[in-house]
Structure 1
Amino acid sequence: MDLAAESELDHYLAISRAVAGEMDLQNVLNGIAGAVKSKLLEYHHLDVAVVTPGDKSKHFALETGIETVWNRDGEGRPNALAPVRQVLSGEIGNLVTGDAWTDPRFHFDGADDAPIFEANLRSRIHVPLTVHGEVIGVLSFSSPERNAYGEDDVRKAQNVADLIAPYFYALNMSDQAQSSARAEGAARGREHSLRHGAQRLTEAMEAERLRLGMELHDQTLADLSSVFRRVSRLAGQPGPDSSELQEIAKAISRCTTDLRGIIENTKPGVLDLFGVTQAIEAQLERATQGQDRKIATKVIDDTDNLLDRSEYRLQLAVFRIVQEAVTNAVKHSECSTITVRLSIEDHSLGIVVANDGRVPLVGWRRSNRGVDNIRIRAALIGARVEFERDPNGSGSRTILNIPCEIVRAGTQGPGLPNEPAAQTSPPSLHHFADSAS
């Protein structure tokens, strides 16, 4: 072996030592750069286009020397638009030019060729990174001088590419495996959370059914039994007592009112007929009636009734979350105002339930089951929920954010089956209340 060949081999060994043990692709390229320049090849710009394992129609770029748009955004770029597309596809064994500015092989309709001019890349060598007979990327050397490279330089560039290809292949596969593992772990975590959330929600619904059964048994059924006994007694007497009949009528009215309240809490009929905003208004009115203090309420919808065009399950989930937040505020905060605002910000639908009440920590602990129900319902519809307290303890907010793509996923145009049929004279809430009574 002559001295020149021995010296060249030493340079390849130096490259191997420079990249040994590196676990980052950019660090591998930086190690190559230091070992190649001034020893094997002079260059102004060194880059590697690496085929994306998950989508082989795209590639990502790593650069050293000068950073261009090829590497700046970090996104995969289409192979079909790359100036080195023929090498990436394996159509040709390498690509060499004395002046890339004027070489038509680099410039075609839609070509990603702007950096060639911006970084003054004139002479260029492009050789494939090949593993198991498959091109996994392209190694490129560039110089601002015209006709800077000859056949011997192409040979050296290919030797470097053959030396580093296994590193790039192994590290790229390792990155893909780690990404897949992270994605699988995240998916499993979401699945576990949703399964646990669904179980918790089912338990909460079962507890609610038990509560309703107890209310019907202990209050409404007892009242109806009393009415039955009084009517039976009157049936055995010669003439009815008008005062007794009036008392029975009042008892029946109370039972009817209690049943209507239970039914309204179980199935929000206003939501079915009038939409989310008016259902929330009706819920605010029900929740604040009969309190020992006056509570002013307001609903502000800046979304042009977007929720009313979404899937019913989403509408119902939002209504239940707002219902729980309002109930917590009325029971625990001693508030004098409750405001519900719907708005669109940063590609998400925001629902904020705010009150000006006192926010002691014990109050939030007492409503722990309700807060958990809110979190579970939010998770089941892919929403994010936050609870904020005023630093001075004089108010709190429940903030629900739903990505707009989730809201719009089930939106419907006018006249679609799940929308209420159009009416010539839309009923009012007062009309609904009158008919329900």
Structure 2
Amino acid sequence: MRQGANKTGEAPDQNPLVSLLRISRHLAGQVEIRAALRSVKTEIENLLPIDHLDVCLVDDKVAWNTSYEVGFKTRWSLSRTPVAISPVRSILLGEADFMLTGNAMEDPRYTFEGALAQPIIKHKMRSRVNVAMKVLGRTVGALNCSSCTPNLYDEETVTRVRQIADVLAPYFYSLRANDKAKRAAIVRAEAQAREEGLRQGALELTRVLEQERQRIGMDLHDQTLADLTRIMRDLEKAEGSQDRVRVIGSIQDCIQDLRGIIDTAVPTLLDMFGFAHALRIHLERAVENVETTTLQVVDETNGLIDRQDSTTRISLFRIAQEAINNAARHAQADRISVSISSQENQMTLKIADNGLGVSKTRPGRKGPKITGGIAHMRTRARLIAADFSMSGKGGTQIIVTLPIVKETFDQDAATSPSGGVA
């Protein structure tokens, strides 16, 4: 192929201005950089022979560049790369306005140590001409034309590529700025959505906590206070040892009930024995018939939950409590298991049973109470940035997954109980 001929062997356009005007028309209405580059490839081929065409644009700090290419599909466009290892770093850093070579495969400017030059070698890009793309005097990227034929380009080619770069630069810079603005808008919208979700979650949790306080107050009034009043009257009437024994038994029952209310309000077992053992105790208390129910709590993480912050631990404990209560009291399950596992940078809490599922409840139970409990579990999961999922096929399975926070071995963590199989 003779110098200046296009890929078909025909002479390039004798009036470059016409091709440049056509390039501008092709760019009009384009809203995506790759599509814009594809739209002008044929017109650029009318000006000079190319086997590969790419544009690389730098970020505002000139630390990273992003490539867009037509022709060969190479590593350059798979992800953004550091400017320092780009074969055209001299242009991107503003050290040169252009680069010209007859064989880039052997040119140390392109294949220096550490350079991302694999596409040049793999696709045999010998002849290359690279020109700075400038906007208001500042280099924003480089236009790169390559051919497999050696020694194909000359100074006249550099002039033509510079004319093309001058036309493309403002369009591509605007498209890049528009793309950045779109991404920034998406990030802002996602942040606002997360913030609103947390706000709604906090409001929901506040409402739930107020309901819990009212429930505890009613339990204390209806149960403990009534029991104490009855015991006081029994004491006034007590005459013999049998009466005193009966009164002492009533006091012990009252104390046990009061401990149950306290354990519900403040998970002291969690602090005393650790997450896995506390759940095992709660399982045994929640199940009506321990002998006929298979219960299992397995911690495969060696107590990782107990080394998390207290908010995370308590939230996970409350989620597990609610799931266990639903399985034991409503779903008629005779097998309930809890497992804690971790993989890479996340931890998973799974509660599974073989009961009726959430869509079916024991006669006499109200469905809204169960669905309300599910909503509370979702809220607690959202407030600790955890993913919550539930499936009801062949029983119920609840999975909570959250990122693992870097462990801090402060005094509280150092004294917290370790996990294991409870």
TM-score (norm 2): 0.91
* Conservation of the 8 A alpha-carbon contact between 2:128 and 2:153: yes
* Conservation of the 8 A alpha-carbon contact between 1:18 and 1:35: no
Matches within 5 A, 1:3-402: 7-37=15-45, 39-53=46-60, 56-71=62-77, 73=78, 75-233=79-237, 240-288=239-287, 290-291=288-289, 294-345=292-343, 347-359=345-357, 361-363=359-361, 365-390=368-393, 394-402=394-402
Distance 1:90 1:253 in 2: 85
Distance 1:422 1:326 in 2: 24
Instruction: Give the equivalent residue in structure 2 for 1:434.
Output: none
Q: Larger deviation: 205-214 or 301-310?
A: 301-310
* Conservation of the 8 A alpha-carbon contact between 1:61 and 1:70: yes
Show CA shifts across 1:24-76 (max 9, x none).
Answer: 10011111211111x201111111111135x53101111111011111x2x22
Show CA shifts across 1:186-232 (max 9, x none).
Answer: 00000000110011011101100100001001110111122223334
Identity %: 34
Instruction: Give the equivalent residue in structure 2 for 1:435.
Output: none
Aligned partner of 1:65: which letter? G
What are the ranges of 5 or more consecutive residues in structure 1 without an aligned counterpart? 235-239, 431-437
* Conservation of the 8 A alpha-carbon contact between 2:20 and 2:164: yes
Aligned partner of 2:298: which letter? I
Give the aligned CA root-mean-square deviation in angstroms: 2.2
Does residue 417 of the first structure (1) align with residue 421 of the second (2)?
no
What are the ranges of 5 or more consecutive residues in structure 2 without an aligned counterpart? 1-11, 362-366
Q: What secondary structure, in the 3-state scheme, does the structure 1 residue paired with 2:106 have? A: coil
Rate the CA distance shift 1:84–1:420 in 2: closer, same or farther, 3 A: closer
TM-score (norm 1): 0.88
Give 1:378 deviation, angstroms. 0.5
Aligned partner of 1:387: which letter? M
* Conservation of the 8 A alpha-carbon contact between 1:52 and 1:76: no
Give 1:360 deviation, angstroms. 5.5
